[in-house]
Amino acid sequence: MQGSRTYSRTKSLNRLHTVLGWTRHSYYLLSGFLLTLFLMGYIWWPLAKDYLSYIDWHASWWLYMDWLLLGIFLFMSLLIMAGADLRVDARIILVGLIGGLVIESWGTQTNLWFYYTAERPPLWIIPAWPIASLSIDRLVRFLQKSAPQLDHKVFKITYWLVFPVFYALMIAFVRPTLDKSLTLCALGLVTFFILTPTNHRLAVLTFVAGAGLGYFLELWGTTRECWTYYTFQTPPLFAVLAHGMAAVAFWRSALLMSWIFNKFKLSRKSIPSNALTGD
Half-sphere exposure of 245 (CA within 13 A, CB side): 25
pLDDT, one tens digit for every residue, the chain (279 residues): 555 555 455 555 455 455 457 778 888 888 888 888 888 787 777 877 777 777 777 777 777 788 999 999 999 999 999 888 898 899 999 999 999 999 999 999 999 999 999 999 999 999 999 999 999 999 999 998 887 777 788 999 999 999 999 999 999 999 999 999 999 999 999 999 999 988 999 999 999 999 999 999 999 999 999 999 999 999 999 999 999 999 999 999 998 888 887 776 666 565 554 443 344
Contact assessment for residue 236 and residue 223, using Cβ atoms and an 8 Å cutoff: no
- Report the distance separating Cα 12 and Cα 118, nearest Å: 50
**Which one, of 95, 129, 101, lies nearest residue 109 by Cα?**
101
pTM of the prediction? 0.84
Count of H helices and E strands in the chain? 11, 2
